[in-house]
Amino acid sequence: VSTEPSTWRIALAGAGHVGGGVLDILHDRGDALIAEHGVRLIVTGVAELGGGAIDPAGLDVAALRTALSAGRALGELPRVGILGLSPIEMLDRSDADILLEATPVDLTDGEPGLSTVRHALLTGRHAVLANKGPVALAYDELAALSRRPAPMLRFSATVAGALPVVTMGQRDMAGCRITRLEGVLNGTSHSILRAMERGDCFADAVLDAQRRGIAEADPSLDVDGHDAACKLAIAANAVLGMACTVKDVAVRGIRDLTADDVRAPLGSGQRLVLLCLAEADGNGYQLSVAPTPVPEEHPLARLHPDEMGVVFHTDRNTRISAASLEPGAEPASAAMLRDVLDIIRSTPCSPA
Amino acid sequence: VSTEPSTWRIALAGAGHVGGGVLDILHDRGDALIAEHGVRLIVTGVAELGGGAIDPAGLDVAALRTALSAGRALGELPRVGILGLSPIEMLDRSDADILLEATPVDLTDGEPGLSTVRHALLTGRHAVLANKGPVALAYDELAALSRRPAPMLRFSATVAGALPVVTMGQRDMAGCRITRLEGVLNGTSHSILRAMERGDCFADAVLDAQRRGIAEADPSLDVDGHDAACKLAIAANAVLGMACTVKDVAVRGIRDLTADDVRAPLGSGQRLVLLCLAEADGNGYQLSVAPTPVPEEHPLARLHPDEMGVVFHTDRNTRISAASLEPGAEPASAAMLRDVLDIIRSTPCSPA
């Protein structure tokens, strides 16, 4: 590409592991993105709990990373910091082209993410989500707000980070009828099940996952299957064309399992996984999340303890599967960036 | 979608297993494509060796399928058949929006596919290839002809059928640096190796693959690694941004292996696969195809005998893999259709 790179302004809501990881990639690969994609990404606003920073000419990403890794509030940064800056104010003052939403998941009302994403789309900005709350709770509304020629909405990171469930489902299965979608979409519970398979009891396996930074202090969302159910509901909307919410998913978690329960299927050449399943049923799909034995040769039986996976079965005699090894949050950050690049590629005219 | 479906005219060059399979899908799922994608696909021209058929208003797909399955020449079809019709003439007279190229692979000069694809792009038609010859031999030229706002070129079916090597590489790895791409991209040789692992000698395994319709009468392209090398070269161009041809791939096939050679790695917990490898090396990649042992826990060691697979390793701490079970040509036909739908989705204004 010999022409000038096009400049795109990014506003980042949420600067935790995933949002901070996006800054890391922009810092490390900014020049590469110009060379490989002809795109210069500048961060014109960041908001986290308690404040943020704004510079429509582009914030110093190295300075943001230094502050974040030192635990300093971005609102206190000299010149650019603003204490108490909300994500929506940040978005409005950042003059951004694309919102990146990576604030913590809330499955009650999806806030603050939902309001920020809605505001972005209504004011003509594209939105990329890692936070699954808004799409799990308000898929229809957000999809309607992003219908062409409106701004674009991307959320591939919300369904198992870098695992390409949504993108493969939309792009690579297009034209087929998906008869069955299977997934291991919650990394924490998968890792716990594999530890229990080695003999750990549930409580020890959870403790170990917490020590490794995989499980949260309160692991309920993961081990009770609700996180997996959200991801399945998002995939059902985005890939299977089924209007549904997490409430349409029959959910059973892994909390009550003993190590013996997990090991029992091994005797018949099977492995127990927390299976997310969408099974064609007349005109729609039955959605469920439940501990389920799968045969040894099944793609989801082959997963590494830190791996998530998805399998698409279609009417065209195909079984296409994917797996993603995700020991940390970095792949989810990379998934946000791929969505940004997809938006840029899908735009007829660049904004600058 | 409540609006009228947009109509797209398809010209099909090559009506063998893959091209014929496209007609099958259009026949079975035509109404579903209108409902799900708002797109009506009509076939306005077909060419095969010796002739073809034309109807700018849309050929009767059921009649085409009946003729093909009865072994009747399309050129002899009443009213629409034209004996001796060449692919280029067919394209010109079909008034098509999109060329589907699925004629047999030729790795010497890429013909007749290359000329047809070139003509399509030069005359403003999009092109979708299953035939890997043109992209393996003339990637640069065809990519230049399809640079925006020119017509689009898609060829996901050329690299291992429905396995999403190109599409995942371009869409899902965007923004990362791929440090290593590994693939089992030739189904025939993979199936032969798995049979040899069970004790068959090479000759028997080939015979069995021929009986099952997997291997061709002359299996050289598959077992000597050249088909795999072509796929790797296409992926290197399309995904790794490396200008190269099949000549840049160091190739070793499986013809000289004994059953003992194939079984030997099992002793150390490894499996022998015909590995396509692109390994980062300074600014570029080293490309090779060779029988290679991979550890049991490697995604490519887990493949079913009828499965192909790909693994992307990136600088972002990710290992993303995919596998596709392809017992026949149907998945490759489905891959052509997904590319057609991707072109339609990527077009700002529909043609009709």
On the question of pLDDT at B351 being above 90, the answer is no
Q: Which of B18, B319, B341 to mutate to test the interface with A (most CBs of A within 10 A)?
A: B319
Q: Hey, is B39 helix, strand or coil? A: strand
Q: Hey, is B186 helix, strand or coil? A: coil
| Structure letter (DSSP) for residue B80 | T
Distance from the Cα of B32 to chain A's closest Cα (Å) equals 8
Which pair of structure tokens corresponds to residue A115? Answer: 């309001």
In the block, tokens 């020991």 appear at A327
Mean pLDDT across A128-144: 96
Give the nearest partner residue to A25 out of B172, B316, B342, using CB atoms.
B316
B317/A331 Cβ within 8 A: yes
List chain B residues with CB under 8 Å of A326: 318
What are the phi and psi torsion angles at B271 (to 5°)? -130, 145
Alpha helices in chain A (DSSP H): 17-37, 61-69, 87-94, 113-122, 133-145, 165-167, 187-197, 202-211, 220-223, 226-238, 259-263, 330-345
List chain A residues with CB under 8 Å of B315: 28
Torsion angle, alpha carbons of A131, A101, A112, A20, to 10: 90
A323/B299 Cβ within 8 A: yes
A330/B316 Cβ within 8 A: yes
The Cα–Cα gap between B293 and B290 comes to 10
As a whole number, the mean pLDDT across chain A is 94
Q: Hey, is B43 helix, strand or coil? A: strand
pLDDT digits (tens, 9 = 90+) for A183-233: 999 999 999 999 999 999 999 999 999 999 889 899 999 999 999 999 999
Q: Which of B33, B39, B172, B308 to mutate to test the interface with A (most CBs of A within 10 A)?
A: B172
pLDDT digits (tens, 9 = 90+) for A77-86: 999 999 999 9
Position B1 scores a pLDDT of: 43
List chain A residues with CB under 8 Å of B319: 324-325
**In sequence order, what are the beta bridge partners of A321?**
A311, B323
C-alpha closest to that of A150 among A189, A176, A120, A186: A120
Position A347 scores a pLDDT of: 84
What are the phi and psi torsion angles at A316 (to 5°)? -95, 30
Position B352 scores a pLDDT of: 37
The Cα–Cα gap between A194 and A262 comes to 8
C-alpha closest to that of A341 among B169, B173, B174, B348: B174
Position A172 scores a pLDDT of: 96
Position A351 scores a pLDDT of: 41
Mean pLDDT across B47-70: 97
List chain A residues with CB under 8 Å of B297: 304
A327/B171 Cβ within 8 A: no
Q: How many residues does chain A have?
A: 352
Position A282 scores a pLDDT of: 84
Instruction: Note whether B188 and B223 are within 8 A (CB).
Output: yes
- Determine the residue type at B116: T
Q: Which of A41, A318, A330 to mutate to test the interface with B (most CBs of B within 10 A)?
A: A318
List chain A residues with CB under 8 Å of B333: 316
Distance from the Cα of A82 to chain B's closest Cα (Å) equals 30
The Cα–Cα gap between B31 and B48 comes to 26
Angle between helices A17-37 and A61-69 (to 10 degrees): 160
Position B350 scores a pLDDT of: 43
On the question of pLDDT at A287 being above 50, the answer is yes
List chain A residues with CB under 8 Å of B30: none
pLDDT digits (tens, 9 = 90+) for B157-213: 999 999 999 999 999 999 999 999 999 999 999 999 999 999 999 999 999 999 998
pLDDT digits (tens, 9 = 90+) for B109-162: 999 999 999 999 999 999 999 999 999 999 999 999 998 778 999 999 999 999
List chain B residues with CB under 8 Å of A162: 172, 316, 318, 320
pLDDT band at B347 (very low <50, low <70, confident <90, very high): confident
Q: By CA distance, what is A40's nearest residue in B? A: B175
Distance from the Cα of A147 to chain B's closest Cα (Å) equals 11
Report percent pLDDT > 70 for chain A.
98
Position B265 scores a pLDDT of: 97
Give the nearest partner residue to A334 out of B32, B171, B318, using CB atoms.
B318
- The DSSP element (H or E) to which A42 belongs, if any, is strand A39-48
A319/B334 Cβ within 8 A: no
Q: Are strands A51-54 and A39-48 parallel, antiparallel or unpaired?
A: antiparallel
pLDDT digits (tens, 9 = 90+) for A23-76: 999 999 999 999 999 999 999 999 999 999 999 999 999 999 999 999 999 999
B172/A162 Cβ within 8 A: yes
List chain B residues with CB under 8 Å of A342: 171, 174
The Cα–Cα gap between A130 and B41 comes to 35
B119: exposed, middle or buried (Cβ count in 10 Å: 0-12, 13-18, 19+)? middle
List chain B residues with CB under 8 Å of A29: 175, 177
Sheet order of strands, A6-13 included: A81-83, A51-54, A39-48, A6-13, A98-101, A126-129, A153-154
DSSP conformation letters of A144-155: HHT-TTS--EE-
In the Cβ-directed half-sphere of A280, how many Cα atoms lie within 13 Å? Answer: 13
DSSP conformation letters of A279-343: EEETTEEEEEEEEEEEETTSGGGG--TTEEEEEEEETTS-EEEEEEE-SSSHHHHHHHHHHHHHH
| Structure letter (DSSP) for residue A171 | I
Give the nearest partner residue to B33 out of A175, A328, A335, using CB atoms.
A175
On the question of pLDDT at B3 being above 90, the answer is no
C-alpha closest to that of B143 among B248, B288, B244, B8: B244
pLDDT digits (tens, 9 = 90+) for A333-351: 999 999 999 999 988 644 4
Q: By CA distance, what is B164's nearest residue in A? A: A172
The Cα–Cα gap between A337 and A216 comes to 25
Which pair of structure tokens corresponds to residue A44? Answer: 């014109």
Instruction: Note whether B329 and B21 are within 8 A (CB).
Output: yes
What are the phi and psi torsion angles at B244 (to 5°)? -160, 170
Instruction: Note whether A100 and A22 are within 8 A (CB).
Output: yes
Distance from the Cα of A159 to chain B's closest Cα (Å) equals 13
Angle between helices B87-94 and B113-122 (to 10 degrees): 30
Torsion angle, alpha carbons of A206, A290, B317, A217, to 10: -30
Distance spanning both ends of chain B, measured CA to CA: 16
Distance from the Cα of B328 to chain A's closest Cα (Å) equals 8
Which pair of structure tokens corresponds to residue A67? Answer: 């502050």
Position A178 scores a pLDDT of: 96
List chain B residues with CB under 8 Å of A320: 162-164, 322-325, 331
The Cα–Cα gap between B294 and B269 comes to 9
Sheet order of strands, A178-184 included: A250-251, A284-295, A270-281, A178-184, A307-314, A319-325, B319-325, B307-314, B178-184, B270-281, B284-295, B250-251
On the question of pLDDT at B329 being above 70, the answer is yes
Distance from the Cα of A334 to chain B's closest Cα (Å) equals 7
Which pair of structure tokens corresponds to residue A342? Answer: 């997809």
Q: How many residues does chain B have?
A: 352
Which pair of structure tokens corresponds to residue A235? Answer: 């995939």
Alpha helices in B107-250 (DSSP H): 113-122, 133-145, 165-167, 187-197, 202-211, 220-223, 226-238
Interface ipTM: 0.95
Distance from the Cα of B324 to chain A's closest Cα (Å) equals 4
The CB density around residue B38, as the number of other CB atoms within 10 Å, is: 15
Torsion angle, alpha carbons of A138, B36, A166, A119, to 10: -30
List chain A residues with CB under 8 Å of B337: 174-176
pTM of the model: 0.95
Instruction: Note whether B164 and B326 are within 8 A (CB).
Output: no
On the question of pLDDT at A352 being above 80, the answer is no
